[in-house]
Structure 1
Amino acid sequence: MKSPFRHCLFACLIPVAAHAETYVVGVEKADFEPYFFIDGKGEYQGFARELLDAFARDAGIELRYRPVEPASLLGELLDGRVDLKYPDSPAWAGEAKAGRSLSYSAATVDFIDGVLVAPLQQGKGIQHLKRLAVVDGWTPEQYREPIASGHLTQVNTGDLRDMIRTTLKRQADGGYYNVEVAIHTLNYRSSSTNALVFDAGLPYSRGSYHLSTVRHPQLIERFDRFLQEHPLEVAMLKSRYRVEENINSEFVGLEQWKVDHIKRQRAKAER
């Protein structure tokens, strides 16, 4: 005979599991691989998804991802339609955030926005940069003055692939974008492997991506603890997705295989 007490106890436990903390993360509906992208099934994927999923497992919570057009994502957060926003940065959209109290996590990953050029043009200096291909919606802050003064012509392009094509066809001398995303697209999503390279001799900017919220600062604190307590897991994810590949070394912007080649050549020369 089944125990009524055991049956009641089991039934009482079901609602507890069913009501685990659930939060909606507003994410960019964009192809920004390897950081993040939306797959063919409409699912959010990439480095950011794996990192946030790892946090959710560790914290015993559920995160649901809501892809939103980038231009509308901040409004979704400020209006309370999503609980969290990724990516975000304290440096972004200052006017739109004025008067609002947002909490930001520690940096999840660092990035560089810069100019990619043909390999033979690398290192020639800004005097050889006359036309700069820029994706619609992007603002190359380091080049505002030369563009405004007419010393540099901005060539507008619809998306990353259009920017790459424009630069490869020499309709522009360089293309401005997130370096890791552009290199990933060139080397893994096109037939133009290594056709463009990052030129660290030209002005570029560094930044970092953060998780943000208006209503749940305590969740940001929990996320920060997760980052502090799991540095190896985070580092392994970064390595697997190549999201910070050599951006903090003399080999800034280079892929690992190129770095290894340079180091082998140096070692031979020193023998």
Structure 2
Amino acid sequence: MPTRKLVFTLTGLAAVCALLSYAASERLGGLRGGSTASAAAHSTGPGYGSYLQIAGVRPMDYDAADKGARRDGAAWVLGDVDLEAVRAAAAAPEDLDRLAEVDPKWIPTQTWKMRHGGASPFALAKEHCSARHLAQMEAMCKADISVVVERQGADEGHVVYARPALGDEATDDCHAYADCIARNAWLDRAAPLPDGRAPYHAFQAGDIRLPMHGTKDEWQVSLRSEIELVTDNLTALRRLDLADPQIRQSLDLQQDLLEQLEWMAAL
């Protein structure tokens, strides 16, 4: 496969897996999983929002951990910020993918947005929010999160505002999940920013959860297969030009995916 085609293929795969739950990425074709994964995804029986439930892991109670966040309507806000400016930024979030395509200086920020997988605090918060609020899933839960980053230095900042937006078809459980990740996954996360003077930068991040079916044994077989596949992908990427920012991005995203798969397999 030509180098450029390989890069885009792997970037797409890792981006999907960072954005979606593992089950969602399986059925959207991002992973070349084995027959066991396919069977698990299409099995009858109850649907779960997270592999944590299938593995029998009790979700965290995030209500016990108050990080100083406060409500602003449907949003969560943190710290002494210019609320009007933050609201205005959140109302017109930027498309980081488009910015990164036009100007490579945005690629680190785009990568940061895409790479919230692995076994990072962000990924764990998402899984525990899902396990807590999507206890029984029958349909997709889809949300868009308007995220505002406050600049704290020449090339970095942290998230001070997160507001979920859901469609009319969203269930109460889906609303609760989106609210949970806005506060506990997004808020206060460190974020890279290109050089500039703007105090706030806003972007939109999507989140999709699809019901997971099957047993732990079925998913364990699938996870081991996917770990082998991603390990091979990483070996192939390391043979390419790591000075290319898109190849470097693909490597980072694949590494996150491997960490997430290994974490899930160890539960």
The TM-score range, normalised by the shorter chain, is under 0.3
Q: TM-score, normalised by structure 2?
A: 0.27
**Higher gyration radius (CA):** 1
Task: State the TM-score, normalizing by the size of structure 1.
Answer: 0.27
Higher relative contact order (CA 8 A, sep 6+): 2
